[in-house]
Structure 1
């Protein structure tokens, strides 16, 4: 099995580990709370945490279609996690910000992710997790690779 994993390409390995960790985080939240929040909704919440952005800015910052982003924001608003209001200096733009409830949920989820990270430390070791973080934080300059 180990040799099989070593022969896999880095893109697939990263994708699989990301999927496992995201599913763990989503399950940890959903098993301990009465409000379902999808990974896509968490992604948007992460972009607006402690910020007040226009919906247009959020749409540019996430990797979803404009329509999907609007759908997720409406869902977050219906759950009481965000508020959408008119921008002060523009009737055209809408501003999105987290409610106190949304911030509390986001911060609770950050604690859950810390617990998952600690489980990872317990499994593969603190040095390995630190090395992994260092590698992931490097500037890979991959945005400029040819497609």
Structure 2
């Protein structure tokens, strides 16, 4: 309502800035590339990065459901960004890793993040930027 005072807490502010940053990176990518990816798909690619990970671990680390993780990985696999393979000792368990195309996309996205990070540093100034990194890196004992 007009004139109503709205209180925004630190969690709302952190969430808003996180969403804005993720959306800015995804939008820049999607504007420049034929392969359109969601924030969740980028998150999965970030969790895999250059490694060979168990799909179950990717889901746990990303806090995705088992079903959601498999769905995202299937979509990425259809686009040729990841490949899966069964583990040696358990046929139900699978590894996932980036394909050569997935590595190219991952590296291009890292570059987009670096550019955005430099814009944030420029906007905040070096001292405030370093303070922010320090604060976000601290153990907040949650």
- Structure-1-length-normalised TM-score: 0.88
SS of 2:115's equivalent? Answer: helix
Q: Distance in 1 between matches of 2:42 and 2:67?
A: 17
Show CA shifts across 1:55-102 (max 9, x none).
111122112211111110001101111001111222221111111110
Ranges in structure 1 where 5+ consecutive residues have no aligned partner: 143-147
Alignment of 1:63-74 (within 5 A): 63-74=63-74
Quote the residue 1:77 is aligned against: 77
Q: Distance in 1 between matches of 2:61 and 2:124?
A: 33
Q: Distance in 1 between matches of 2:116 and 2:53?
A: 29
Quote the residue 1:42 is aligned against: 42
Alignment of 1:1-147 (within 5 A): 8-142=8-142
SS of 2:69's equivalent? Answer: helix
Ranges in structure 2 where 5+ consecutive residues have no aligned partner: none
- Structure-2-length-normalised TM-score: 0.91
SS of 2:93's equivalent? Answer: strand
Across the two proteins, how many residue pairs are aligned to each other?
138
Computed over aligned residues only, the root mean square deviation of the Cα atoms, in angstroms, reads 1.5
Q: Distance in 1 between matches of 2:88 and 2:127?
A: 48
